[in-house]
Amino acid sequence: MKKYYQLNLQQLGTLGVDFVLYGIVRVLISVLQTLPADMGDKLCHSLAWLVTTGPFKIRHKITKHNLEQIFPDASEEDRKRLEYAMWHHLLLMVCEIAWAQRRLHLTNWSQYIVFRENRKTLGHLLSRRPKVTVTGHFGNFEVGGYLTGLMGFSTLTIARKLDNVFLHRWVERFRSAKGQHMVDKEGCAPAVDAHLKNGGILTLLADQHAGPKGCWVDFLGVPASCHKALSLFALSSNAPMMIGSTTRITGSPMRFEMSCSDIADPDDDPDGNCASIKSLTQWYNAGLARDINKSVEQYWWLHRRWRTPPPKIAARFAKSENRRAA
């Protein structure tokens, strides 16, 4: 009985801390929502300086390691500038998420959004076939999901629950405000299968590390482990896979380009991209890399995308590299 009460007290204490953090975040978001776009942009520049050059260096070692791997020929000064630009983008992304529900509506979306390859994309989205859309921690993917719902397309997204239950519910309310439904990645397969069988749209963040047993492919020139389920969802349901992105353009807040840069369709696959899980995984990683190379400052270089591969995988990649060099 004593242990039971101790456990309950610990849970209450954790909930109390979570609620205080939630309250602080909500107050900060409320303040951000009142700021004009130009003032928010200046604030993000100042905060980016604090977390890169200033005293509060956040995830600096991971970011530095990633940039050294991906851009080995860049100077140290160039990598520092890219780290600063990335942080400015991330902070501005938070502002844009806070502004979206209050400033972005069906009556004024054309002031904020430019669509590229919209006819081809709409042709697939409006079909009765299932669809799988992949993107990465690139651009403002949260606003992209909101915009997709705003345009009338209901989607299903797999996401990990946040540890803070109050923040999780709040983020989920934002994501589902216009028809984006969320499922936890644990035990999500039945819900995903049912959604795709009904001709639904599945949206996925495709650049999550999948551990040593994942599908290892080249991503931006470095081996990366990918979840096999992404390609499996598309191939098992005969669904076209689309590579999408929502990138900031003109260097200004709240100005985006939504695009679909490439599509792999199992029913029309002359290049064999849908031949296997490995080939489809390599295909979408190559497509994401092309998109990221157009706006490298809008990628999350601070997350641990690249890990050390198992010895056999490392040897295979080294052998392929030597073959290319020869």
Of 200 and 2, the one with more pLDDT: 200
- Rounded Cα gap, residues 186 and 207, in angstroms: 18
Asked, for residue 50, whether it belongs to a domain, the answer is no
Kindly tell me the sign of the dihedral angle through the C-alpha atoms of 81, 82, 86, 89: positive
Asked, for residue 150, whether it belongs to a domain, the answer is yes
Determine phi and psi for 63, rounding to 5 degrees: -60, -45
Asked, for residue 51, whether it belongs to a domain, the answer is no
What pTM does this model have? 0.90
Asked, for residue 286, whether it belongs to a domain, the answer is yes
Closest alpha carbon to 203 in 221, 226, 178, 230: 230
pLDDT confidence band for 204 (50 / 70 / 90): very high
- Separation in Å, CA 16 to CA 26, 83, 160, 163, 170: 15, 35, 22, 13, 16
Q: Do 233 and 239 form a contact (C-beta atoms < 8 A)?
A: yes
Closest alpha carbon to 101 in 254, 325, 299, 308: 254
Radius of gyration of the chain (CA): 21
Residue 1 has pLDDT above 80, yes or no: no
pLDDT tens per residue, range 132-148: 999 999 999 999 999 89
Asked, for residue 40, whether it belongs to a domain, the answer is no
Total structural domains within the chain: 1
Where is 134: in which H helix or E strand? strand 131-135
Asked, for residue 45, whether it belongs to a domain, the answer is no
Asked, for residue 303, whether it belongs to a domain, the answer is yes
Closest alpha carbon to 304 in 246, 243, 231, 219: 219
- Separation in Å, CA 167 to CA 22, 24, 87, 138, 245: 6, 11, 22, 22, 25
- Rounded Cα gap, residues 51 and 70, in angstroms: 21
pLDDT tens per residue, range 163-179: 888 888 888 888 787 77
Expressed as residue numbers, the domain containing 257 is 106-325
Asked, for residue 126, whether it belongs to a domain, the answer is yes
pLDDT tens per residue, range 104-160: 998 999 999 999 877 888 888 888 999 999 999 999 999 999 989 888 898 999 888
